Amino acid sequence: MYARSTIVANRTGLHARPASDFIACASKFKSKITIKRVGEDDEANAKSIVMLLSLGLGQGTEVLLTAKGEDEVEAVDTLIELIDSKFGED
């Protein structure tokens, strides 16, 4: 298992287009990937748009990504980079 945290920095958070980009990226990996707010118990399957949107992850939210599987390190690191890139937003 591999995990890392980061802060959602883009203005819209993980909603609509950024969430769709996140799901598309997560779906490329074989590992089981979850995402949750740091300090909370509710976690979501990082490959499910419905579950991801249900978390309501807005700007400034600290999130923890966890993956378990053969490509777990690459999966988490890639998704962290995507979040840190602000999904191409200013």
pLDDT digits over 50-88, tens only?
999 999 999 999 999 999 999 999 999 999 999 999 998
pTM for this predicted structure: 0.96
Are 74 and 33 contacting, i.e. CB atoms less than 8 angstroms apart? no
Of the candidates 75, 84, 90, 86, the one whose C-alpha atom is nearest the C-alpha of residue 25 is 75
| Overall domain count for the chain | 1
Catalytic choice (4, 9, 12, 15):
15
Q: pLDDT per residue over 13-41, tens digit each?
A: 998 899 999 999 999 999 999 999 999 99
> What range does the domain containing 54 cover?
2-88
Whichever domain contains 11, its CATH number is: 3.30.1340.10
Angstrom distance (rounded) from CA 27 to CA 18: 14
Are 20 and 52 contacting, i.e. CB atoms less than 8 angstroms apart? no
Q: Tell me the angle at which helices 16-26 and 72-84 cross, rounded to the nearest 10 degrees.
A: 160
Quick check: is 47 catalytic?
no
